[in-house]
Amino acid sequence: MTLFSAILFSVFTSAMFFIKGQFFAGSGSTDLLSYFSNAPYICIIVIPALCYKKSISIYDDFIPRPRLKKLLLNFARILLEYTIIILMMLPVCLTLNYFGDTDPGQIFTGLICLLFYGAAVISLCLFINELFTNSIASFVISALLLAVFNSIHVVPLYLNLNSVLSGLCRTLSFAWHFDAASKGIIDTRDILWLSICAALFIYLTYMTVEIKKGRQFNKQQRFFYLGILILTALLMLNSTRFYKRLDFSKNKSYSVNSYTKKLVDSLDDQLKITYYRSGSLSKLYPQIRDVTDFISSYSLLSSKIRYTIKDPDKDSDINTLLQNYGITSQQLQKSGTNSTEFINVYSAIVMEYKGNVQLIPFIMSSQTLEYDFDMRVRSLISGQSFAVNIIIGNGMSLYDDYGFIIPWLNSQGIVANPLYIEDPAFVTNLSLCTGPLFVIGDSEINIENAIAIENYILEQKGNALFAVSPYSCSIEEDWSITANKKTNLVEMLENWGVIFTDTIAADISCARITMYSDEGDDENPFEMSTQQKEILNYPQWISLLPQQYCTLGMTLFWPVSLSLSQNAVPYLITSPSAWTYKTDRASPTRLIETNPFLIQQDSAQNHESGTQIIGAQITGELTGLYNYGSCTDSNIIVIPDQYFVNTLMTGYIGGDFGDYRNFEFLSNCILNLQGESELAQLQSKTTRDTSLYKVNDIEQFKKLRTRVYLIIFAIIPLILAAIFFSLYFARIPFLLNRGKND
């Protein structure tokens, strides 16, 4: 029974993660959240099986040992077997390093919390075993109770419970207490709750055994044991009042940064933080607790911070106040047994300081909350918001072709100020601005515009990010690439040391795109065509690996390979397996082949391969090309791709859930250009790369898949069999010797 349970646990958790989670079907992630989250559910069967009463257990009464000692030894034996089982999760976690990066802290906290979870559940099952003498009945009842305790937190999804009952459901749920640990956090509330549960059920088991054996308790003993029971219950109910969250995540994602502490220390007046959270939201999503915990930790940094929570569902005046702030409710789906409904919820934060207000209109997790707080607190203290001036220089529309830029920047606390080159007052408007400049495209920038842009930089009114190229692509048609007639900004940047070569970069590390083609019957034109679907690696859309200025990676579309001189240094680079396609700028037609069906990755053999520079930074002294001026302290970032934040192009790579890494890179660049590098680091602090970036070759991927299946479905079961058979045969001499001694 024990060996079967061990193998079942290992196979189930691995199969749910790799097979049901479609790890090898394009949805793979090295995040272990779902892997560890599957464990409590298979424990519904596994732990009652480990605690299953064997027929020979009736002879335990004849062993001359104290009942409490026998109980604790039995508990320790089962906990040891369970520990061996969960430790076999470690090899599975380590296999993920073949594909990408895992978080050691997440592995540590996941296993630790599973150990405490196991102790609590084992003690519960032992208690049920003593209550019911029939082993099958106790097994079934234990499994049913575990199913209830693992899933009771979802009851508010189906029943309209009040806040007290909803909170009780969450508190009683064993699985709910595992949420923080699966992210790399040890929360003392969860550990204490599970520990108290284990101690309580061991105590109840012991008392049940004593009562069954006919022990009589006098009045003082009854009051004493009743007092212990009441004290334990009070400890369980108050375990949430005083707590500590220990962050073991790789990047200390859930710990307050030193930049935050310095920012809070600069407060000279009271900062009021109000979290408007619907009560119905806290019933449905455990991650909302992370938001509350972070705000609480943030408020403890200074006595000048005051923090309150209000429920808009209970007060119509609060709804009116939020509407005045411009905060609207968000609609979330709530699924029941036979129906699906949508509920309107609030989860907004309002920050008030010296009569000024900053808002976070909607928040569902604490993933970027520290950055959001610091960005807004900094604006409240300084009285100014971050702003960036945006110029579209390729004839496209900011609101149509680049429609995500302004909403994204607003969500990051950055104000966008559009400037239009077709406006006759463009030069005057630009001269009145300050702050970072973001220029997209060069094909419509005339010489007058270029002179104004260069003068803006030389006068050091702000640093600049240029997303420009000497080429344009018909992204809405056949993807043909042609040379631009106007290249004024390209020539200006080349004067500063960033040379745009006559090559388009490509890389084995690239985006995968889904292409469709229609195949009909030429002999029977009336027969409907059959649509063929094919997923292709497209090397001209480079998927950058995580690097210094691009911690999550990103995707560039037909980027130009750069050559650098003077004060220019690399900012973004490809993998060592990249290559280039040579172009002819003088050609009026298609410069290179861009058809995905015709491009093969082995074409790298016909081109010079090696790491390519596809992003540059210019710092230090600059001399004008169109102006006579110069400056000594510049900071210019050049990306040779004018489509990396284009709505259509980012939609191609977004998948079902969207890919916002290009936009994160954009806001990160703007903050760095503003001189806020520490704040820029906070932006991606809690976000780590969980992609399978280490595998780029399909044959390598297949070999690793076979290796993983071999480990989880053959090697680990064999190791478990060897361990438990060894333990079984080691116990036989011990039992024989104990019998002789007895």
pLDDT at 150: 79
Do residues 33 and 688 make contact, with C-beta atoms less than 8 angstroms apart?
Answer: no
What average pLDDT score do residues 691-706 get? 78
**157 versus 504: which is more confidently predicted?**
504
What are 544-572's pLDDT values in tens digits?
888 888 888 899 999 999 999 888 999 99
What average pLDDT score do residues 505-534 get? 64
238, pLDDT greater than 70: no
**645 versus 735: which is more confidently predicted?**
645
Tell me which H or E stretch contains 740: helix 716-741
**Cα 512 to Cα 432: distance, rounded to the nearest angstrom:** 44
What are 524-544's pLDDT values in tens digits?
444 444 456 677 788 899 998
What average pLDDT score do residues 575-598 get? 77
pLDDT at 701: 81
pLDDT band of 55, cuts 50, 70, 90: very low
Q: Which residues make Cβ contacts (< 8 Å) with residue 588, sequence separation at least 6?
A: 482, 483
pLDDT at 243: 67
What average pLDDT score do residues 282-306 get? 79
- For the ranges 104-113, 323-332, 579-588, the one whose mean pLDDT is highest: 104-113
Query: Could you say which DSSP state residue 414 is in?
Result: E
pLDDT band of 161, cuts 50, 70, 90: low
pLDDT at 397: 92
pLDDT at 494: 93
Residue 430 has which token pair? 């630009």
What average pLDDT score do residues 308-334 get? 81
Residue type, 398: L
Least confident range of 40-49, 230-239, 454-463 = 230-239
Least confident range of 181-190, 477-486, 511-520, 698-707 = 511-520
Tell which residue, 206, 189, 435, 378, has the closest CA to residue 292.
189
pLDDT at 56: 42
pLDDT band of 463, cuts 50, 70, 90: very high
Do residues 564 and 529 make contact, with C-beta atoms less than 8 angstroms apart?
Answer: no
What average pLDDT score do residues 688-693 get? 72
**Cα 46 to Cα 376: distance, rounded to the nearest angstrom:** 49
**650 versus 687: which is more confidently predicted?**
650
Residue with tokens 């400056």: 631
> What is the pTM for the complete model shown?
0.71
What average pLDDT score do residues 92-102 get? 86
Q: What angle do CA 475, 477, 479 make, to 5 degrees?
A: 50
pLDDT at 722: 86
What are 406-445's pLDDT values in tens digits?
988 888 888 899 999 999 999 999 999 999 999 999 999 9
Q: Could you tell me the strand order of the sheet in which 414-419 lies?
A: 414-419, 386-392, 437-440, 464-467, 630-639, 613-623, 568-573
331, pLDDT greater than 50: yes
**Cα 529 to Cα 492: distance, rounded to the nearest angstrom:** 51
pLDDT at 64: 52
Residue 239 has which token pair? 């375990």
What average pLDDT score do residues 109-113 get? 89
What are 625-637's pLDDT values in tens digits?
988 888 888 899 9
25, pLDDT greater than 80: no
53, pLDDT greater than 90: no
pLDDT at 558: 93
601, pLDDT greater than 50: no
pLDDT at 445: 92
pLDDT at 224: 67
**470 versus 729: which is more confidently predicted?**
470
pLDDT at 690: 75
638, pLDDT greater than 90: yes
pLDDT at 24: 80
346, pLDDT greater than 60: yes
**Cα 227 to Cα 239: distance, rounded to the nearest angstrom:** 18
pLDDT band of 501, cuts 50, 70, 90: very high
3-state secondary structure 70-128: HHHHHHHHHHHHHHHHHHCHHHHHHHHHHCCCCCHHHHHHHHHHHHHHHHHHHHHHHHH
602, pLDDT greater than 70: no
Query: How many Cβ atoms from other residues are within 10 Å of residue 432's Cβ?
Result: 8
pLDDT at 241: 61
- For the ranges 82-96, 174-188, 193-207, the one whose mean pLDDT is highest: 82-96
Average pLDDT value over all residues in the chain? 81
- Percent of the residues in the chain that have a pLDDT greater than 90, as a whole number: 23
pLDDT at 529: 44
- For the ranges 69-78, 133-142, 460-469, the one whose mean pLDDT is highest: 460-469
What average pLDDT score do residues 698-703 get? 80
**Cα 440 to Cα 578: distance, rounded to the nearest angstrom:** 25
693, pLDDT greater than 90: no
Q: How many helices (H) and strands (E) does the chain have?
A: 25, 23
